[in-house]
Amino acid sequence: MRTTQDRASDLRHAIDLTGYYPQVVADGVGTAVAGEPVVDFFLHHEPTFDHDEVRRHLSVLVLTPTRLIVAHTDEHPGDDLLPEPYTSTSTEAIRLSGLKSVVVTRMSANPTSGRPAVAEANMTLGWGAISRIDLEPAGCADPECEADHGYTGVLNSDDFSIRVSAAADGADAVASLLGFAEALSALTHSA
- For residue 3, being part of any structural domain is answered with no
Domain match, 43 and 93 both: yes
Residue 55 CB partners (closer than 8 Å, separation 6+):
47, 48, 49, 74, 75, 76, 77
Task: Give which of 40, 42, 44 is closest to 64, Cα–Cα.
Answer: 40
Domain match, 39 and 54 both: yes
Domain match, 41 and 86 both: yes
69 with 91: CB under 8 angstroms? yes
Domain match, 176 and 123 both: no
Domain match, 34 and 95 both: yes
- Residue 118, phi-psi category: left (phi > 0), alpha (psi -120 to 50), beta (remainder): beta
End-to-end CA distance of the chain: 14
Domain match, 38 and 109 both: no
Domain match, 181 and 122 both: no
Domain match, 75 and 111 both: no
Predicted local distance difference test score (pLDDT) of residue 174: 96
Dump the DSSP string for 84-128.
S-EEEEEEEEEEGGG--EEEEEEEEESTTSSS-EEEEEEEEEE-S
Domain match, 180 and 142 both: no
Domain match, 76 and 136 both: no
Predicted local distance difference test score (pLDDT) of residue 1: 42
Number of domains within the chain: 2
Range of the domain at 140: 102-156
- For residue 57, being part of any structural domain is answered with yes
Distance CA 4, CA 6 (A): 7
Domain match, 90 and 183 both: yes
pTM for this structure? 0.81
pLDDT in tens, the chain (191 residues): 444 689 999 999 999 999 999 999 999 999 999 999 999 999 999 877 777 777 889 999 999 999 999 999 998 888 888 889 899 999 999 999 999 889 999 999 888 887 888 999 999 998 876 666 777 888 888 888 888 888 887 666 668 899 999 999 999 999 999 999 999 999 887 65
Distances (CA, A) of 25 to 16, 17, 22, 31, 33: 9, 12, 5, 10, 12
